[in-house]
Copies of this chain bind each other. A is one copy, B any other.
């Protein structure tokens, strides 16, 4: 009980009352207190599990997932989070459903949510689509609840959209906080969010955007570096600038990977597609112009190929703070000589950080569980305390 009180006391100092009954779409829609509360609950839930105390708050209920793009990590993180809290995952497989047949989002949302306490959606492929879809979905279930069709209002968790990837970036950030020993240690730290070469194309922008949208809130100096033409969404850059100004940090853009890495405390080299190209692809898809898409893909690969030198090498790592920057990646990475001939990162760099990378990923289930928890409980402090008092073992023996 003593230990859980540390989390409870921390929560007592934060204002996150608006998270009750809410959704999680974009980190920059949440206050700093709300972000901090999410990390705190994530850590508390992890502590419970590590101490074999059940965090099963739901005796029944569904966690519905809808993946409009392949996923392993996020799928298993969502499943783990739901399971930890007692929700059974039910995947909405659009291929096995009748949805194709012109059904509205509002209808689908209501039809699958009768016993859903949470809905997790990944929809990251088309600019202007994913986040919009999630909000429409959330609006539909809110109305369904008000209308009395749904006995509970499911919480919507953004499992990656065209704009942000909040469960990923929150996990990344919590890893950084743990690595450096607390939020108060981050002031002035330099973060290099850089593009990196990949032989594939069209990777979503949600990770770089999510990183500059969140990490600028901790008083850090966030560098976004990419070759010309690989710009991210301008709206998110504005968010990053505003965040930096408010937090006493900096948001700096450049076209130099070396400049970004120089004395960086944290590096996040990762490939993505140019925003403008993704926008173009979205409208080509809209128009059903498949020849246009093919031509665009060819162009993108050729464009990528001009930047093979954007690789996270040992030399670049040496130029970072004491040669020991924290290397981050959302995984899977394109590793030179391992998963491709030339890629985002040198094999020796990746291998040295492997354990750290897995630890980074291990925060995701707890971050998702915390998002759900904070939406479901009016007084999470009390619920956490009650879970400890209940003293139900996670594994009976």
Contacts and interface: CB of A to CB of B under 8 A. Distances in A.
Interface of A: 46, 49-50, 54-62, 64, 67, 70-73, 75-77, 79-80, 83-86, 88-90, 92, 96-99, 101-104, 106-108, 110-112, 114-115, 117, 144, 147-151, 200, 331-332, 334-335, 338-340, 354-355, 358-359, 361-362, 364-365, 376-379, 382-383, 386-387, 390, 392-397
Contacts of A67: 96
Contacts of A362: 114, 149-150
Contacts of A392: 59
Nearest to A54: B59
Given A96-B70, A383-B396, A397-B377, A359 B59 contact: no
| Residue from A56, A115, A397 with most neighbouring chain B CB atoms (10 Å) | A115
A90 to B, nearest CB: 5
Nearest to A117: B395
A183 to B, nearest CB: 21
A55 B58 CA distance: 12
A393 B56 CA distance: 11
Contacts of A46: 151
A147 B55 contact: no
B111 A76 contact: yes
B56 A60 contact: yes
A62 B101 CA distance: 31
A115 B80 contact: yes
How many copies make up the complex? 3
26 contacts: A54-B59, A54-B60, A55-B60, A60-B85, A62-B76, A70-B96, A70-B97, A71-B98, A72-B97, A72-B108, A77-B114, A79-B88, A88-B88, A98-B332, A102-B332, A102-B334, A103-B339, A104-B338, A111-B361, A114-B361, A117-B395, A149-B355, A376-B395, A378-B397, A382-B397, A383-B396
B83 A88 contact: yes
Contact of A151 (B49, B58, B75): B49
A397 B57 contact: yes
| Residue from A77, A80, A117 with most neighbouring chain B CB atoms (10 Å) | A80
Contacts of A394: 58-61
Given A90-B89, A147-B355, A97 B75 contact: yes
Nearest to A58: B395
B60 A114 contact: no
Contacts of A84: 60, 115
A168 to B, nearest CB: 13
Contact of A59 (B355, B361, B395): B395
Contacts of A98: 70-73, 332
Contacts of A106: 354
